[in-house]
Amino acid sequence: MNTSLQDLGVSNGDVLLEISYLVAAVLFVIGLKLMSHPESARKGNFWAAGGMGLAMITTLLLHRGDDGSLIALNNGIVIVVAIIFGSILGTIIARRIKMTAMPQLVSFFNATGGAASALVALMEYSNPNNTSALVTLLGLVIGAIAFSGSMIAYGKLDGKIGDIFAGWVKYFNMVIMVITIALIYYMLAYDLDASTQSALAYALLAIALIYGIMFVMPIGGADMPVVISLLNSLTGIAAAMAGFIYHNQAMILGGIFVGSAGSILTILMTKAMNRSLLNVIIGSFGGGGAAVDKEHGNIKEITLSDASVLLSYSQTVVIVPGYGLAVAQAQYACNDLVKLLEDKGVDVKFAIHPVAGRMPGHMNVLLAEADVPYTKLVEMDTINPSLPNTDVTIVIGANDVVNPAALDDPSSPIYGMPIINAHESKNIIVMKRGMGKGYAGIENFLFFNDKTRMLFGNAKDSIQALVNEIKQL
């Protein structure tokens, strides 16, 4: 007996929709693969965006609601208007944003994803056709935590919100976590009337929002890249939960890709900092920490003319970029310095610490914007063995990632964190505006090293002046 799709209650449109989701998933995988290398990352973004566009268009044209009608017939105009509005707003924000504010933008966009997933779960929990109560509640909690946590991260990165380092915070968070688990169990285990279910769902939303706030508030600046990565992972997981609610394969796969990639990145970054994820979450790392009192030593400055001579007659130079480079928008001037030194036969490379800046890959993105060749960006573990034979290491706006306290001061909050061993170089030039502490809030004894010379001033102005001095030699 031959059985048609129509006999099984499956339309040609449903088949096309599922095939489009499969194609979108393939495009996601290709895009993710291409994004694993800087040279192909831009192309990877287009492949992944194409997959998302395909999933959105086919869902709009072919997806049917619970009553069997096409979604485009019921809510098509509202959806199209929302897509157009969001696309225009996103384009404007992306074009106007400065590279120094990129971490804040990532946190803000991540918050919108968490909010969307939480709202989907909140709306669908009371839907009688929803058979995924556990998934819905988990999506509500995870999405809400991702939203409020990301918004707090945005505020902290933008300097609008401070830190809370009180010891009671971690115990408060543990109590909220227990309450959340107990409330989910109660909502699933007992047959509650609709009004009670609705009230408890809103209570769960409020508790999750509070937890997201209090979870991020104690996190110091040195751990912020790890937290952003973790929150990104949570948003992906929440999106996958929303996909399970709607039985939408594209949402499920997209969420899984984001969640798993964010989780792997978080694990790699905590490993690079020699810290456990639990330690990051409850450890209140950074901000206000202090190393043990010891004699600082003397600060030695260097003039532009002396620095230009030292660099011009060196064989190897390593540049360690940090957030200060982004603040000064000095990446273009830095690339000019590199080209000038290479014309003189100097071998120049950049040493990239995994958590330099305020988000994963911040320095890579910043230098790529200035067309610095990717081959010149060397990871910490690869560059460190060559630093003892490096003639000059230039530290531009970096602080905690080159702080020797991580290696030799057990009292320091960053003790045990792998750093770029700039102190092992033959000569060290540190470019800073002043003697302020880094984002972790502790003293950097690299500045008092006998081999270190300080070049004070705005990084962009200092590098441009240095370029002019070298040209005149």
Residues marked active site are found at: 400
* Distance between CA atoms of residues 147 and 109, nearest Å: 9
> Which run of H or of E encompasses 465?
helix 459-471
What count of other Cβ atoms lies within 10 Å of the Cβ of residue 63? 15
Residue 473: exposure state from Cβ atoms within 10 A (0-12, 13-18, ≥19): exposed
Give 166-210 as a DSSP string: -THHHHHHHHHHHHHHHHHHHHHHS---HHHHHHHHHHHHHHHHH
Handedness of CA 78, 80, 85, 89 (dihedral sign): positive
HSE-up (13 A, CA, CB side) for residue 353: 29
Strands 427-432 and 392-396: parallel
CB within 8 Å of 373: residues ≥ 6 apart:
none
Give the 3-state DSSP-derived string for 129-154, with helices as H, strands as E and coil as C.
CCCCHHHHHHHHHHHHHHHHHHHHHH
